Amino acid sequence: MTRLSHMLVATLLAAIMTGAAPAAAADIQPPALQFVFEERVDLETPEPTGPGPRGNGNRIGIVGGTISGPMLQGKVLPGGADWQLIRADGCTDIVADYFIRAEDKALIHVRNVGLACPPGSGRGAYARAIPVFTAPIGKHDWLNKSVFVSTIDPVVDAQGNLRQVVLRFYAVP
């Protein structure tokens, strides 16, 4: 068990032993998300990898991009990729793995895992992911110490080809 797990169990046990009641559903407020930065990621032409046991594979190379926002500025480095699995239900599992470089030259690894689904069943297109950052200890260590969620919006050219995605990253306080 991790130290955090021990702390959570201890807190729960203390509440039970002192007779403290859990919060009523009406008292529970969801956390508000905090916008931290946006990436504009330039992409290669998608490369289908063919059918597999769980769906059709797809690879989209990352060729660069920009980062701007209140908590981080910099560049998306070329060389990463978005590995996709296009499922039978029309949704796509997303695993993007790449590096970004902050303005101060810090190198930060990003692994963004999510889901994209076409419009249907009473809702519009859906594309969300959960990024995990590995940043050097120091100025950007805050990326290692929070949970984040990202939105993904495609940018297509005049011919309808995907050339860029805009990702907006939000911290969950």
- pLDDT tens profile 158-171: 999 999 999 999 99
CB–CB of 152/116 below 8 Å? yes
E strand segments, 87-143: 92-102, 107-117, 126-134
SS3 7: helix
The mean pLDDT of the chain is 90
CB–CB of 48/62 below 8 Å? no
SS3 110: strand
Half-sphere exposure of 171 (CA within 13 A, CB side): 15
pTM of the model: 0.83
Q: Is the pLDDT of residue 8 over 90?
A: no
Domain, as residue range, for 152: 34-172
| Residue 159 belongs to domain with CATH number | 2.40.160.20
pLDDT tens-digit map of 112-142:
999 999 998 788 899 999 999 999 999 999 9
Q: Is the pLDDT of residue 55 over 70?
A: yes
Residue 98 belongs to a domain: yes
Residue 147 belongs to a domain: yes
pLDDT band at 27 (very low <50, low <70, confident <90, very high): confident
Residue 110 belongs to a domain: yes
